[in-house]
Structure 1
Amino acid sequence: MSTTGKVHLPTGQEALEKKGWFGAHKYLVLRRLSQAFFLLLFLLGPWFGIWWVQGNLAGSMTFGFLPLNDPLILAQMMAAGHWPETTALIGGLIVLVAYALIGGRVYCSWVCPINPVTDAAHWLHVKLGLQKGWQPKRSARLWILATVLIVSALTGTIAWEVINPVTMVHRGLVFGMGFVWALVAAIFVFDLVVARRGWCGHVCPVGAFYGLIGAKSLLRVSAVRRDACDDCMDCYEVCPENQVISPALRGKGASTPLILSPDCTNCGRCIDVCAMDVFAFTHRFDDHVETPTDAAATSRPPKQTAA
């Protein structure tokens, strides 16, 4: 599908005109509500004395009987030579299974409170027209993950928790932000001027860990109507891991339309901004491709705007 003669409209503009504001931002809004919901659950106790959940994203007890523990923290504990208690192991197993089924990096886009910070940095980066900046290899976060486990083993500590911004933000909201503001600002500036999408895409070992967990997950985004694609490139513009799109969108014949890369965060932004409704959530066993029945859809010329 040629892009010759096309001049790019503002990202999401066509979807905005076709779907309306909410339709073009549905999954973004739902993600923000989800992130606020999970954060509020942990703050109900300290702020309002409502102890439905005790703890934080590192480890918690819900309604006094349901343990939930970050399996990466448990992995660091075991690397450090400290065997977790049975309750913690059960909580870690519950989280492990949940993210293995729904997609590990769903944590990054639907739960992590740092995600709105990095999204805001990317929005401003685009608005200011800044250069892409330094882009370390995406495998760097895997090396950082390995380093975290090695340092835990050598020091006998849960190494990442010393600087984990998620844990520090939660504690800051309870006991006072103080230095935490500087850490959050550093992540924002890093993504803004040093490396576009750098923190989540290239650095954070938590994202790397959950990506490994969800490598074979059930929940997937599919380019189910890829034949209707008009090459607007909006999906590439908004995707935080846009290298995952091409194998599904540009595939031909019997190639799967599913985005199978564990790097995909299942954020749903590609679904939001696509005016042609090319993408949809489905499961990993649903690899059918819809053939457009509307003749206008199949013969639609590329978008034209004034140069």
Structure 2
Amino acid sequence: MSAKTKLPVGQEAIEEFGWLRAHRFLLLRRASQLLFLSLFLLGPWFGIWWVKGNLSGSMTFDILPLTDPFITVQSIVAGHWPELTGLIGALIVGVAYALIGGRVYCSWVCPINPVTDGAHWLHDKLGLQKGWQPKPGTRYWVLAMVIAVSAITGTIAWEIVNPISMLHRGLIFGMGFAWAFVAAVFLFDLFVSRRGWCGHLCPVGTFYGLLGQKSVLRVTADKRADCDDCMDCFAVCPEMQVITPALRGKDGDTPLILAPDCTNCGRCIDVCAMDVFHFTHRFDDTPAPGRDARERTQPASGASRAA
């Protein structure tokens, strides 16, 4: 609920801009996720092999290799040096996500994202408690553990339990044990830890966050002086801690959200009725007044009464 209006989250934006405008990036994300998943399923389902493989590694039109760089790192530490095609594919994907924002993968590509978003939606509808929240550094320990296990066992350790791969196999081969991993992620986020999987545990998101630390694509709170403290942006953000430095900054502080945890999902842009947030690039040095600017432009209560 909006802290000021007591309206449902995003309702003010819907009334101001219309439903489509207030959900545009959410809809684009779902379309993007469906597109990527469909490309991989065209072959197994319909015999149209434009793309062969899955999100771990694929070949598009028998020309373009794409490899998950996280898989490549595990393979190398496990003692299995990838073929040149695999290395080229990892380099292409790595450079792309390093430029546009590593965790764009999480919000615009990963098929598990709708699962965890669905769990979060139901969590709110049921009015459940926030639940257990792992410490901020937990995700990095999980990432380090996965790489260490790969090195010790000589295997690509994460692929054994990767829910992304499990979901892909389940869609191709039908219901089976693979779906248990996907259901476990949903139930974990629903009952154990709100936004716990993507926000605190998944090593894939952590890896891509590190990869995209200096990425070009960013969200800016360039109109933060207009913020009315409705808190809707915090309510929808999967990594709400990244908003505060940009939104609450003073004059001279950057309005850019520079934290690598930001997924560039655009939901803060969608739900803001004051149009505070926008997509931009990390070199955008457009000055933005801080929150204190609004206070300076508002007349004092005494002066107002005298007038």
Which TM-score band applies after superposition, normalised by the shorter structure? Answer: over 0.9
- Is the partner of 2:200 in helix, strand or coil? helix
Partners of 1:225 and 1:289 within 8 A in 2: no
Measured at CA, do residues 194 and 201 of structure 1 come closer, stay the same or move farther in structure 2, by a change above 3 Å? same
State the identity as a percent.
Answer: 72
Q: 1:189 aligns with which of 178, 187, 190?
A: 187
Q: Distance in 2 between matches of 1:266 and 1:30?
A: 12
Listed as ranges, the matches of 1:216-227 within 5 Å are 216-227=214-225
| Corresponding residue of 1:141 | 139
Q: 2:16 aligns with which of 6, 18, 36?
A: 18
Question: Scaled by the length of structure 1, what TM-score is found?
Answer: 0.92
Q: 1:31 aligns with which of 29, 47, 62?
A: 29
- Is the partner of 2:187 in helix, strand or coil? helix
Partners of 1:226 and 1:289 within 8 A in 2: no
How far is the alpha carbon of 1:287 from its aligned partner? 2.9
Q: 2:45 aligns with which of 47, 52, 73?
A: 47
Partners of 1:12 and 1:273 within 8 A in 2: yes
Q: 2:158 aligns with which of 157, 160, 172?
A: 160
Counting matched residue pairs gives 293
Q: Distance in 2 between matches of 1:6 and 1:95?
A: 43
User: Is 1:239 matched up with 2:229?
Assistant: no
Structure 1 vs Structure 2 CA RMSD:
1.7
User: Is 1:261 matched up with 2:249?
Assistant: no
Bigger mean CA offset, 199-208 vs 9-18? 9-18
User: Is 1:83 matched up with 2:84?
Assistant: no
Partners of 1:34 and 1:111 within 8 A in 2: yes
Residue identity opposite 1:97 in structure 2: V
Residue identity opposite 2:134 in structure 1: P
How far is the alpha carbon of 1:137 from its aligned partner? 1.2
Q: Distance in 1 between matches of 2:151 and 2:211?
A: 21
Q: Distance in 1 between matches of 2:120 and 2:287?
A: 32
Q: Distance in 2 between matches of 1:101 and 1:242?
A: 23
Q: Distance in 2 between matches of 1:130 and 1:299?
A: 39
Residue identity opposite 1:157 in structure 2: T
User: Is 1:113 matched up with 2:103?
Assistant: no
Question: Scaled by the length of structure 2, what TM-score is found?
Answer: 0.92
Partners of 1:169 and 1:177 within 8 A in 2: no
How far is the alpha carbon of 1:212 from its aligned partner? 0.2
Q: Distance in 1 between matches of 2:6 and 2:107?
A: 27
| Corresponding residue of 2:304 | none
**Structure 2: 5+ residue stretches without partners:** 300-307
Bigger relative contact order (CA 8 A; separation at least 6): 1
Q: Distance in 2 between matches of 1:64 and 1:266?
A: 31
Q: Distance in 1 between matches of 2:193 and 2:99?
A: 31
| Corresponding residue of 1:305 | none
**Structure 1: 5+ residue stretches without partners:** 301-307
